[in-house]
Amino acid sequence: MNEEQLKQRVQKRIVLISSLILIGKFAAYWLTNSVGILTDAMESIVNVVAGAVSLYSLHWSAQPKDKSHPFGHGKMEQVSASIEGILITFAGILIVYEGVYHLFFPVGIRKLDVGIYIVAFSGLINYLMGWYSVHIGKRYNSMALIAGGKHLQSDTYSTIGLVAGLLLLYFTKIAWIDSVLAFLFGGIIIVTGISILRKTIANLLDKADEALLNEIAQELNEKRSPDWIDIHNAKVIKYGSYLYMDCDLTLPWFYTIEEGHREGTRLKQILEQKYADRIQLTIHLDPCTVFEQAKCRSCSCQKCQTRKMRFEQADPITLATFIERANERKD
């Protein structure tokens, strides 16, 4: 089973279990008539719909490149996560509305103990599903699985508070507590939805992922070739699970095309060892003369016959030097 098939299988399980939880929560609402439990049930609708959208997006994003989509279809995962963020936010607004409405027009609550058991058990299942989804999503860099998993986990956190509030309602019999619970947790859901939207919009706009760039820079720093004077002007774009990267590699000016190709291949192999077949790299080679020999002090090349300065130490590859453009350099 390949990576894309595994992600789809994980999402199928989540959709199936979320559907069963949805039925259980609406049964709990039907038994209790509690608007607090209704908030949980309404969010489960979002879980199922968003899960189905994520499943479709994973299937779509797994399709190979074609003439119309030379970078593949991975951005569909970002679209899916955005839709999920919108649905979560909308559900939160509806929940707040229901809470306010029932505050002014209260209804009788019954069999609350049964409802509490159902909500608590579904919350535990949601957390386990969310942890599993985030775990697989991080392993394979799937924004759809990570967003879905975090949503399920946030649903669990709100469920804990909801259960506590329902217990308070059960023992005190104060009716307005039910509406307050809906208002409070509806607000939490809205914040969760907006948070997912902000992140997915940033990814759709190809905002630089500094954590990923730092990780790549560190990997190259640890395994760099002695003749790599530096690596700069690095850019990485994420399409679903795939990474498209280009960078500039500075080499001694007298390197032949064959030697430059060899060093570029070595750089590519280092990244492929870490990211398997998920990365595609384009390298531009710079000769050290571009910097008017100022890089001599950080170049450890032993066979250079035109050195102008004594070698001192190699410059470490950091985030700052990794993304720096050639025309911004002060060397």
Amino acid at residue number 174 = I
- The CATH architecture that domain 210-328 belongs to is 2-Layer Sandwich (3.30)
Per-residue confidence (pLDDT) for residue 61, from 0 to 100: 62
Choose among 65, 74, 53, 81: nearest CA to 4: 74
Per-residue confidence (pLDDT) for residue 66, from 0 to 100: 64
Per-residue confidence (pLDDT) for residue 207, from 0 to 100: 63
- Cβ–Cβ < 8 Å for 37, 112: no
Choose among 215, 278, 324, 266: nearest CA to 74: 278
Does this model's pTM top 0.85? My answer is no
CATH superfamily of 3-204: Cation efflux protein transmembrane domain (1.20.1510.10)
Choose among 274, 282, 275, 306: nearest CA to 231: 282
**Domains of the chain by residue range:** 3-204, 210-328
* Tens of each residue's pLDDT in the chain, 331 residues: 566 677 778 878 888 888 898 898 888 888 888 877 877 787 777 778 777 776 776 666 666 666 666 556 566 666 777 777 787 788 778 778 877 776 777 666 778 888 888 888 988 998 898 888 888 888 776 766 777 787 778 777 777 877 888 888 888 888 778 778 777 877 877 887 888 788 777 766 656 677 778 888 888 888 888 888 888 888 887 766 677 888 898 888 888 889 899 998 998 888 888 877 677 888 988 888 755 556 777 777 777 777 777 777 777 777 777 777 655 555 5
> Tokens 């309602």 belong to which residue?
169
Per-residue confidence (pLDDT) for residue 165, from 0 to 100: 80
Amino acid at residue number 181 = L
CA distances from 311 to 113, 223, 287, 296 (A): 76, 20, 17, 6
Q: Around 297, how many Cα atoms within 13 Å sit in the side-chain half-sphere?
A: 4
Task: Determine the Cα–Cα distance for residues 323 and 215; give it in Å rounded to an integer.
Answer: 13
3-204 and 210-328 in the same fold: no
Q: What are phi and psi of 83, to 5 degrees?
A: -60, -40
Per-residue confidence (pLDDT) for residue 258, from 0 to 100: 92
Per-residue confidence (pLDDT) for residue 228, from 0 to 100: 85
Per-residue confidence (pLDDT) for residue 272, from 0 to 100: 85
> Tokens 């924004």 belong to which residue?
143
